Amino acid sequence: MHSRDMLHSAYERGFSPKYVLFDCAYTDIKTLKLLRFYGWKFIAGVRANRKVSLVLHEYKDVADVATKEGVTCWLKIFGPVKVFKLVLPKTGDIDYLVTNDLTISTSVVRSANNRRWRIEEFHRGGKQMTGLEYCQARSQRAQRNHILCSYLAFLALEKWRLETGVSWLHAKVQIVSKAIAQYLAQPFIPLSKASP
């Protein structure tokens, strides 16, 4: 899996993170065990139906066990973890988080989850605003160039958003509208006239 390859590469390069943050799409047992093997702490999203146990061999869904203060329990096939239930203030959505740091506080988990969410927004914005995932190239070099150009464009949009308060979408519409108007005023590929 690509995520484990990236973690291995980070380990080989000598990274020593305070916490590794990721969402529920990456909380498979192999990844969690790899992080434990590296000696790294993680804070990760888990699905509400992930199985944990407070009592030996009596497994329940995380949703039935987790609290906002955190509960130490046994994650099936992994070992001891602490699970948290975070209710998002604006939407009322519920996030379930798991960590292998059994001494962690709710405030640290909430702060880490907020940072993780900002990273998620950054990647989502990059995909939505720049066509990051639509690269048609086959070579690695061309793909890297596409990704770099996409992120440079997105960072320009983000800088503009921070300076002006204009959303990414509004800024993109302004750019595209102006470009279309300029092209229509002086097209470098003129439309041919229809024959009678």
Give residues with Cβ within 8 angstroms of 76, minimum separation 6. 50, 51, 52, 53, 59
* Shared domain check, 147 and 93: no
According to the model, what pLDDT value does residue 40 have? 96
pLDDT tens digit string along 30-78? 999 999 999 999 999 999 999 999 888 889 999 999 988 999 999 988 9
Q: What is the CATH number of the domain that holds 18?
A: 3.90.350.10
* Shared domain check, 70 and 32: yes
Q: Tokens 């229509």, residue?
A: 184
pLDDT at 21 over 80: yes
For residue 90, tell me if it sits in a domain.
Answer: yes
* Shared domain check, 99 and 48: yes
Q: Which domain holds residue 162?
A: 131-185
pTM over 0.85: no
pLDDT tens digit string along 137-173? 889 899 999 999 998 988 888 888 889 888 888 888 8
